[in-house]
Amino acid sequence: MTSFRRSVTPAERRARLGRRHLLVGSARVRTPEEVAGALIGLHATDPATVFLSAAARMAEPEVAAVERALYEERTLARIRCMRRTMFVLPAAFAPEAQAAVGRYAYMDRGKALDRLREAAGWDELRYTAAEQDALALLAERGEATAAEFAAAVPALREQIVAFPGKSYESRQRVASTVLGVLAAEGRIRRARPAGNWTSAQFRWALAEPLPELPASESKAALARRYLSAFGPVTEADLKWWTGWTLAATRKAIAASGAEAVSLDEGTGYLLPEDVEPVSCPEPWVTLLPSLDATPMGWRQRDWYLDADHTPALFDRNGNIGPTIWADGRIIGAWAQRPDGSINHRLFTDPGREIHTALDGETARMTTFLRGTRVTPCYRTPLERQLSA
């Protein structure tokens, strides 16, 4: 005898998304900490994404509020965690996230030394000396950029070929490897950037290492956070979002206490306290930036994205560009023209009410940007067209 399994329709999933991800107008919040908490974390590979993702979900968005949380109060932490990707998440979540996703090979000191030994002939003594010189520089100056490290520490000025033979092969300073490992170990942190809020040229500062937590318990806790924010989800969604193996994914789902539900694409999971149906919220429209946590939150996306639009919205590595959402679906894309004004394209005519709401959201984002031009670090075909 089989037990009854509740079905969750795409419409209900879109209703959940609007409320849980603070995209409905009435769900917007006051602080960037609330935004990051609702989404577990904000994608931060592109620094501008953090600010634009927060702005889309805050009732009165301000650049200064995000900067204050990141660099003054430090209630938000920027770390590399899920899928080896940079995230900005509530500082209290950082130890759990790091313990849950583990230390990836390229962030490990031993692997970094192997790479530098092969690429530049370094040995343990040379690596340790460069590492100590970098920490001494921060102890003396308080903060320093990668360029300042390279200028002050000759060993960090050396260049190696990164990812040889790959399409993204490049030359980079040794400083990137050494500083990356120190950051992964929690011994240094990214401080305020050298430029404005769109800049990726961060200063570095000394930091206290994150406390070590049990991996299995942290994985179960992270799975619960993900299910709460993104559920219902499939095994494939959680595996992709975390970067875990399938075995680790299944173990974390079981430990989370999740209950199975039926989705169009197969079996999904919800937390037991979250299985009641969710009604549709009021109509809503929003502009989300490239790499926003919402469209990057699921591996299987048919319930909010027409597959025919994927080639225009994503680059070859699976990074999404800026998107326009209405009532839980992607209906178009947007970008800034050279003069900073916002241009957009809709995939279909959504009706007068949505057009009016889109005009309002465009004006709201224009006010937030205040003339700042943002060019995504990963360009997509439609974003390039709209920004020309």
Q: For 311-353, what is each residue's pLDDT tens digit?
A: 999 999 999 999 999 999 999 999 999 999 999 999 999 999 9
pLDDT confidence bin for 37, thresholds 50/70/90: very high
Residue-number span of the structural domain to which 365 is assigned? 285-387
Taking the C-alpha atoms of residue 257 and residue 223, their distance in angstroms, rounded to an integer, is 10
Burial zone of 44 (CB within 10 Å; 0-12 exposed, 13-18 middle, 19+ buried): buried
Domain boundary among 164, 186, 206: 206
Domain boundary (206, 236, 269) is at 206
Res 279 pLDDT > 90: no
Q: Which residues contact 132 (CB under 8 A, 6 or more apart)?
A: none
pLDDT at position 36, please? 98
- Domain-terminating residue out of 161, 177, 206: 206
Write out the two tokens for 15. Answer: 């209703």
The number of domains in the chain is 2
Residue 365 has pLDDT above 80, yes or no: yes
Residue 151 lies in a domain: yes
Cα-flanking dihedrals φ and ψ of residue 346, to 5°? -100, 145
* pLDDT of 1 higher than 50: no
pTM: predicted TM-score of the whole model, two decimal places: 0.92
Phi, psi of 373, rounded to the nearest 5 degrees:
-95, 125
